[in-house]
Amino acid sequence: MKTRKTKPAAPRASRAMRQPEIPLSPRAERAAASLHVVLIGIDVYSGEVPQLLGCVNDIDEIQELLLNRLGVPASRIKRFAAPLRGGPPRPTTVPTQAPTQANLIAALTALGDEVQPGDRVFIYHSGHGTRIEVIDPRDNSRYYREALLATDSNLAYTERLLFDWELNRLLGRIAERTPAVTVVLDCCFSAGATREVPEKGVRPRFVESPRPFVLPPEVAPPPATGERGAARRLGVGAGDFMVVAACLDDELAREWDGSGGEPPAPGRQQKTHGLLTRALVDQLSALEDTTLSELRWGQIWRTVVAKVEAMNANQHPWLSSSPVRRVFGGPPEEGDIGYSVTFDAASATYRLNAGSLVGVTEGAVVALYPELGTPGATAVFPPVGTPEDVRERIGLVRVISTAPATSSAKADPAMPPPSPPPSALMRGRLIRPGEAAKLVVALAPHDEAMANRLAASPFLKIAQAGDKGQITVVQRSDKSWAITDDIYGTGEEPGPPLPTLPFLANTAPPADAKDIAVALVEHYYLYAAPLRIARNCADLEHCLQMTLLDCNKQIGVLPPELAQNPPLPALQPDRRPNYEVKAGRFDTVNDRWITLGDCYCIQIENTSDIDLWVTLINCDGEGRVSIYASRYLIARKSRATFWSSSGVLGDPMCATLAAGQSLGVDRFVAIATTNNTASLDYLRRDTSFAEIASGVGERGEHARGASERWTADIVVVRMTAK
C-alpha cells in the first residue's frame, strides 16, 4: 500500500559562558551549521492562566547546550520566551521574542520556507498544554481538542491557541522539505486525568478550559471525537518527523525545583525545571561534547524515562518514532528496537516489556544486546545464531514468569552468562519461545526431510501427519514449497484469470530449497505475531470496531481540521471483516502513479465505558509489518481516524500491488488495552518474504503494573488489479 499524493502524477555543571574544551569535528561542525532551532519557554500567561516557574529555565539550558557544546551559530536559533519578573538573569546571545500565537505561527511558517534538504530542525517547547471540550450545536455532540498555550492565549474564550491540527500542518510543511525534524514538548496533553494536588515544589504543566467551546454553526464538519492532542496526533503515522512528549495522553507533565519543599543548600542555586528537561539535561551532561551531534535517542531514552518515572510515577514520556534517530534533528533510520530490558541487582532478575501475548512465555530464552547507539551495538540485529550475533550478545536469560505485556527472566546456569556485567541499557529479542508458543506447521504432502528441517527451528513444531497446523507448507507442482494460512494460498488454485486465494511466499523451485523454507516460516512466525495477539485479546469483546471510510471522491489531501472527522461514507465490507478493493500501480522509479487504486482511511471506535490505548498495525501482503499508531488513546465512547503513513492528516491510504502481482491482502490489526505503558513497537518488520527468499535474510526485531484488559479487531483488505 502506498500513499496517494496530492498531485496523483507524481549536564555537566552549568557552563553558560564556557567554550568547548575539544574542537568540534568537521562532521559535527557541518551538522551544527545546518541545524535550525526554535526554542519556546513560557512562564507568564495572560488572563487567569496559572503561571509556571521552570519553562524559561528549560530553554536556557537547551540553548546553552546548543551554543557552547554543539557549536550551533546563534543566528540559527529563534528564541521565544516569557519569563517571570524578578527571575534570574537570562542569556542575551540570542535575541528573545514574545511567544505570542502570531509570532509562533510566523516562525514555524518561515521555517517551512527556509529549510533545505539535508538540514536538521530541532524545536523545543516548554509551557502549558490544554484540553478544550467542544460542543457541536447541530447535534450537541461533545469531543475534545488539545492545544499549546501562547503567552497571549485567552483560555476563557479559547482565543489565540495553537491547536493540534494547526501544529501538525506547520510541522508537516517543514518535514516536506527535510525529514530530519525533532519536536520536544515538555508540557501536558491531558485527556481527562484526575487533577492531583501538587506535591511540595511540584506543579503540573496543564490548565483546563473553564467552560466548553461552542462550535460556530457555520463550521462543518467538526473535529473527530477522541482526538487526543498535539503530541499524539503528530505521532500517528509521523514517519517524517520525531515527536518527543513529556507524558502520555491522559497524564500530567510536571515541573519540579528538586527541593521537596526544602530551602536550597548554602551557596547552591535551586532552579525549577520540567521533569523531562531535567532528566534529558542530566543525561546529556555526562557525555562528551564531540558525541552530541550524532547522539541517538536509543542511547539515552530508557534512562530518561526511568528518571522521569522515578520523580513522578504517573508520567511516562513517549517517542513517536524509532530511537535510532539522532537527538538533535535526525532523519528517519532503520534499527531494531527490541524488548526493553532492565536489571534488578537485588534480585538478579531481568525485566522485559514483552510478555505472554507475544510468545514470551515461561521457559522462553531471550538474547540480550547493547542498547541502540551504545558501543558494540549494531542498528539491526544480526541473524540469530550467526557468528556476528554471538559476538554482539551480552548473554542469554530464561523467562521465569510472565504477564500479558511483561515478563521476568534470570540467567540460566546452563546458558552463557551475561557478559560484560549487566548494563542499564539493554535490549532483547526472543530466540526460543516456550513450547506452547511455538508455531504449529503442517505439511502437504508430509515430507520427512522437510519436517526434520522445520522441526530443528526453535520457533516451530510439526503437526502430525493428517493434523491441521496454524499454517500449512504446501508443495506446488514445480516442487517449490508455499506458505499458506487462512488467507493465503499457493498461487496455483483455480483458475484463470486470477487465483481465488492470494499468494504469500514460496521457495525457489530448483534443487534443495528446504533451508529457505525454514527461513520463510520463521519470518512468518514474526510477521503473524500481531494476528496471534489479536486472537488472544478477549477481555473486552466487541468493544473495538474498525471501519474503512471511502476516500475515492476526495480531491487531494483534506484540510487537517476536516481530516479529524472526515465527511466520508463507510466502505461496505464484502463479508466482515473482508473488504474488496481495486489496486492501482505505482512507478517507484519515477515516483508516480500509473493508475490510481481505491483509497480509504481507517476509523476506530471504542464502544466501551473505559479508555483504551490502541496500537494500529498493518501486516501487508509482502510480509512486512508497519506500526501506524502506538499507544494512541481513544477515550470511552469515542473514535479516531487514521490516515496514511506519510504523517499528513487527510492523506489517504491507497491500495496498490507490487510489480507482477494481480492479487494481494493487507491485514490491519487494532490492539487495545487499559495498560497505557504497554508498547508493541517491537513488532515492526521491515523485511519482506521476497527478500528472504532471495537471500537477504531477516532484518531483525523491531520493538509492552496494574491489572489490565485487552481487546482487538482485524480487517482484511483484499486487493485485485484494476
Q: Write the DSSP string, 552-593.
A: TT--SSPPHHHHTS---PBPPPSBTTEEEEEEBEEETTTTEE
Mean pLDDT on 559-587: 78
Is residue 712 pLDDT above 50, yes or no? yes
| Banded pLDDT at 18 (limits 50, 70, 90) | very low
Grid cell listed for 590? 519515477
CA dihedral 275, 350, 530, 320 (to 10 degrees): 20
- By DSSP bridging, strand 129-136 and strand 141-154 are antiparallel
Residue 634 near residue 611, CB atoms below 8 Å:
yes
pLDDT at residue 616, rounded to an integer: 93
- Cross-strand bridge partners of residue 204: 254
User: Mean of the pLDDT values across residues 129-133?
Assistant: 75
**List of residues 6+ apart from 566 with CB closer than 8 A:** 221, 549, 551, 554, 558, 601, 641, 650
Average pLDDT rounded to a whole number, residues 247-271:
65
Q: How far is CA 132 from CA 159, 190, 694, in A?
A: 11, 10, 53
Grid cell 554543539 is found at 70
Average pLDDT over residues 248-253: 75
Worst-scoring range by mean pLDDT, 56-65, 100-109, 674-683? 674-683
Higher-confidence position of 380 and 234:
380
Instruction: For the chain, give the percent of residues with pLDDT over 70.
Output: 76
Q: What pLDDT, on the 0 to 100 scale, is given for residue 137?
A: 60
pLDDT of 408 strictly over 50: yes
String of DSSP letters for 617-660: EEE-TTS-EEEEEEEEEE-TTEEEEE--TTS-TT--EE-B--TT
What residue segments make up the domains of the chain, in order of their start? 32-261+270-319, 339-434, 438-527, 530-721
Q: Are 205 and 229 in contact (CB under 8 A)?
A: no
- Cα 479 to Cα 69, 297, 383, 482, 485: the distances in Å are 63, 48, 27, 10, 19
User: Taking Cα atoms as reference points, which of 434, 451, 280, 352 lies closest to residue 704?
Assistant: 352
Handedness of CA 139, 143, 147, 150 (dihedral sign): positive
User: Please, what is the average pLDDT of the chain?
Assistant: 78
- How far apart CA 124 and CA 172 sit, in angstroms, is 16
Site of grid cell 514474526: 526
Please determine, for residue 319, whether its predicted confidence score (pLDDT) is greater than 90. Answer: no
Using 50, 70 and 90 to split pLDDT, how confident is the model at 556? low
Grade residue 309 by pLDDT with cuts at 50, 70 and 90. Answer: confident
Least confident of 117-121, 170-174, 230-234: 230-234
Q: In the sheet where 439-444 sits, what is the strand order?
A: 460-462, 439-444, 471-475, 481-484, 505-506
pLDDT number for residue 110: 95
- The helix or strand, by DSSP H or E, that contains position 214, with its residue range, turns out to be strand 213-214
The pLDDT, as a whole number, for residue 227 is: 26
Identify which of 178-192, 461-475, 587-601 has the greatest average pLDDT: 461-475
Which of 383 and 397 is assigned the larger pLDDT?
397
Mean pLDDT on 659-678:
86
Split at pLDDT 50, 70, 90, the class of 320 is confident
Query: Using omega within 30 degrees of 0 as the cis cutoff, is the peptide bond preceding 420 cis?
Result: yes
The answer to whether the beta carbons of residues 593 and 586 sit under 8 Å apart is yes
Strand stretches in 465-534, DSSP E: 471-475, 481-484, 505-506
pLDDT of residue 261: 46
Taking the chain, what is the end-to-end CA distance rounded to the nearest angstrom? Answer: 15
Range with the lowest mean pLDDT among 263-277, 419-433, 583-597, 621-635?
A: 263-277
CA 199 to chain CA centroid, nearest Å: 31
Between these two residues, 284 and 491, which has the higher pLDDT value? 284
Instruction: Tell me the C-alpha distance between 527 and 485, whole Å.
Output: 12
Confidence at residue 611, expressed as pLDDT on a 0 to 100 scale: 87
Residue, of 428 and 567, whose pLDDT is higher: 428
How far is 155 from 206, CA to CA, in rounded Å? 12
Question: What's the order of all strands across the beta sheet hosting 202-204?
Answer: 202-204, 254-256, 273-274
Say if residue 151's pLDDT is above 60. yes
Lowest mean pLDDT segment, chosen from 293-307, 397-411, 612-626: 293-307
> For the CA atoms of the chain, what is the radius of gyration?
26
Predicted confidence at residue 300, as pLDDT, reads: 86
For 32-261+270-319, CATH number?
3.40.50.1460
Asked if residue 330 has pLDDT above 70, the reply is yes
Q: Residue 250's pLDDT is what?
A: 67
Residue type at 485 in one-letter notation: D
Read off the pLDDT of each residue in 667-679 and give the average, rounded to a whole number: 90
Residue 444 has pLDDT above 50, yes or no: yes
- Lowest mean pLDDT: which of 73-87, 187-201, 403-417? 187-201
Average pLDDT of the segment spanning 362-373: 88
The mean pLDDT of 529-547, rounded to a whole number, is 89
Cα–Cα distance measured from residue 38 to residue 62, given in angstroms and rounded to the nearest whole number: 11
pLDDT at 14 over 70: no
CA angle 522–528–530, rounded 5-degree value = 135
Highest mean pLDDT among 290-294, 454-458, 633-637, 693-697: 454-458
| 141 and 219 Cβ atoms separated by less than 8 Å | no
- Average pLDDT (261-271) is 51
CA distances from 369 to 100, 298, 378, 714 (A): 46, 13, 9, 33
Q: How confident is the model at residue 140 (pLDDT cuts 50, 70, 90)?
A: low
The predicted structure's pLDDT at residue 602: 93
Which cell goes with 516? Answer: 529457505
Q: Are 319 and 403 in contact (CB under 8 A)?
A: no
| Spatial distance between the Cα atoms of 453 and 460, rounded to a whole number of angstroms | 10
Kindly state the DSSP code that residue 538 receives in the 8-state scheme. Answer: B
The three three-digit cell numbers of residue 503, written as one number: 499468494
List strand residue ranges (DSSP E) for 63-127, in order.
77-82, 96-97, 120-126
Q: CB–CB of 591/644 below 8 Å?
A: no
Residues 6+ apart with CB under 8 A from 227: 143, 144, 145, 146, 164, 233, 564, 640
Cell numbers given for 477: 507442482
